[in-house]
Amino acid sequence: MKALVWHGKEDIRCDTVSDPEIEDARDAIIKVTSCAICGSDLHLFHNFIPAMEPGDIMGHEMMGEVVEVGSGINGALKKGDRIVVPFTILCGECDQCKRGNFSVCERSNRNKDMADKVFGHTTAGLFGYTHLTGGYPGGQAEYLRVPFADKTHIKVPDSLTDEQALFLGDIFPTGWQAAVHCDIEPTDTVAIWGCGPVGQMAIRSAVLLGARQVVAIDCIPERLSMAEAGGAITINFETESVVERLNELTSGKGPEKCIDAVGLESHVSMGQPDTLLDRAKQMVMLESDRPHVLREMIYVCRPGGIISIAGVYGGLVDKIPMGPAMNKGLTFRMGQTHVNRWTDDLVRRIEEGQIDPSFVITHTAALEDGPDMYKVFRNKQDGCVKVVLKT
Ligand code: NAD
Ligand code: ZN
Ligand code: ZN
């Protein structure tokens, strides 16, 4: 089959590889019909997260048709079913899965020992996402083996197109969880850093959850326009001071809720040094060490507020100014998304027409064009916000 394969930094190729096979009774094989490129894939593209190996198949946002099931699936899935595959693999039976904490499933990471050594604990197995999270082949491919497939799936109602359903496996619940983690009150200002696909979903989610105002921050005009269409007030961090604008919009008090939809590759947004800033302010916000966005959020968030982090952090050296965070009494909530926790609610909202997640798609291409589309997405060329690949 054809698949997008990692060969090293900025080197993704469309190769011919072996078809996947059933390896365990709880496996299923799907024929992928649509898959997408995620901001998280860019961290691997840039080789910012270690533990990829040449030959690894990329991709964790995919859907398709079940073509084969293992003997232990017990009727949960059958040939011909149309499913979205959540990016977090879940066993459905461990203590964490029973609590709905699917992204920290205790059994789905087959390289648990490696994760234990690095993180001091395990995380769930993830598709196409480094050997620390199981080294499972990803879904930017014609076929995919789905482990624990009796639980690791989302059945798609016939009424939804691929484009409407695909993002139920990652970015829609990711933006949604980030907004839910904010415990939004009708009086709240929710500020969202990053208007990529995840930020766009977080914006629409915060609007649906009834925030008084949603403020979206980025520097890419097309992404800011899409944010505005979704109901946000926008700030271009290249031409405006994020902190000053956020204070203006909140009578000098700062937003109650802040969402990080950027993660480890954030750019320094405070381009022009402000001569009025004293050293302490610089230490919170302006030091060149990452994470820039998180530092800015801690600086501007209203005391007692919530910092909700959807952006992925992979390094072990991020510098977080804990002093101001502690003294302001901030609450931090974060994590890989517990995708299936949100499925029923989000499918219903799509079916009811409250939201159509396909709004985010700007580019559709063939799987073979995937290597070029990684570059288009990374460079935000031609107004690119989200790329869907068809097999
Ligand atoms: P993306 O790279 O397309 O979007 C990131 C956006 O952030 C870009 O538009 C960029 O211009 C903007 N940005 C950079 N620096 C900024 C700054 N200083 N201030 C404001 N905006 C800034 O990626 P995406 O697909 O939207 O994903 C966003 C993040 O979410 C990534 O880190 C990704 O790994 C993560 N993610 C997490 C989960 C999860 O389960 N928690 C799931 C999916 C994606
Ligand atoms: Zn993703
Ligand atoms: Zn589990």
Domain boundaries, the chain: 2-170+337-390, 172-334
Tokens of 75: 């009727």
Q: Given a cut of 90, is residue 272 above it in pLDDT?
A: no
Tell me the per-residue pLDDT of 31-66, one tens digit each, with 9 for 90 and over. 999 999 999 999 999 888 877 899 999 999 999 999
CA distance to 235, 240, 295, 302, 316, per residue, from 290 (Å):
21, 21, 8, 22, 11
Q: Given a cut of 70, is residue 277 above it in pLDDT?
A: no
Question: Residue 346: its pLDDT value, please?
Answer: 98
Residue 375 Cα, ligand 1 centroid: separation in angstroms?
A: 16
Tell me the per-residue pLDDT of 368-379, one tens digit each, with 9 for 90 and over. 999 999 999 999
Average pLDDT over all residues of the chain: 93
172-334 CATH, one of 3.40.1190.20, 2.120.10.30, 3.90.76.10, 3.40.50.720: 3.40.50.720
Residue 69 Cα, ligand 1 centroid: separation in angstroms?
A: 35
Tokens 């939804």 found at: 160
Q: Given a cut of 70, is residue 101 above it in pLDDT?
A: yes
Contact between 234 and 216 under an 8 Å Cβ cutoff? The reply is yes
Tell me the per-residue pLDDT of 145-200, one tens digit each, with 9 for 90 and over. 999 999 999 999 999 999 999 999 999 999 999 999 999 999 999 999 999 999 99
Tell me the per-residue pLDDT of 346-361, one tens digit each, with 9 for 90 and over. 999 999 999 999 999 9
Nearest ligand for residue 129 CA: 2
Question: Residue 285: its pLDDT value, please?
Answer: 58
Q: Which of 35, 40, 101 to mutate to test the pocket of ligand 1 (most atoms within 8 A of CB)?
A: 40
Tell me the per-residue pLDDT of 186-225, one tens digit each, with 9 for 90 and over. 999 999 999 999 999 999 999 999 999 999 999 999 999 9
First to last CA, the chain: 10
Q: Given a cut of 80, is residue 314 above it in pLDDT?
A: no
pLDDT confidence of 271, banded at 50, 70, 90? very low
Q: Which of 104, 168, 198 to mutate to test the pocket of ligand 1 (most atoms within 8 A of CB)?
A: 198
Q: Given a cut of 70, is residue 287 above it in pLDDT?
A: no
pTM of the model: 0.95
Q: Given a cut of 90, is residue 341 above it in pLDDT?
A: yes
Among protein residues, the one with the nearest Cα to ligand 1's atom 36 is 311
Candidates 160, 142, 187; CA nearest to 20 is 142
pLDDT confidence of 319, banded at 50, 70, 90? confident
Q: Does domain 2-170+337-390 have CATH number 3.90.180.10?
A: yes
Q: Given a cut of 50, is residue 270 above it in pLDDT?
A: no
Mean pLDDT calculated for residue range 232-256:
95
Strands 82-85 and 154-155, by their bridges, are antiparallel
Among protein residues, the one with the nearest Cα to ligand 1's atom 40 is 336
Position 12, amino acid: I
Q: Which protein residues touch ligand 1 with a CB less than 6 Å away?
A: 38-40, 42-43, 170-171, 174, 193-199, 217-220, 223, 237, 261-263, 266-267, 269, 292-293, 310-312, 336-337
The beta strand positions in the chain, using DSSP E, are 2-8, 11-16, 28-37, 56-57, 61-69, 82-85, 88-89, 125-126, 143-146, 154-155, 189-193, 213-218, 233-236, 257-260, 306-309, 331-334, 363-366, 387-390
Tell me what percent of the residues of the chain surpass a pLDDT of 90: 83
Kindly report the number of other CB atoms within 10 A of residue 225's CB atom. Answer: 14
Question: Residue 120: its pLDDT value, please?
Answer: 86
Judged on CB neighbours under 10 Å (0-12, 13-18, 19+), 48 is middle
Residue 262 Cα, ligand 3 centroid: separation in angstroms?
A: 28
Tokens 């696909």 found at: 197
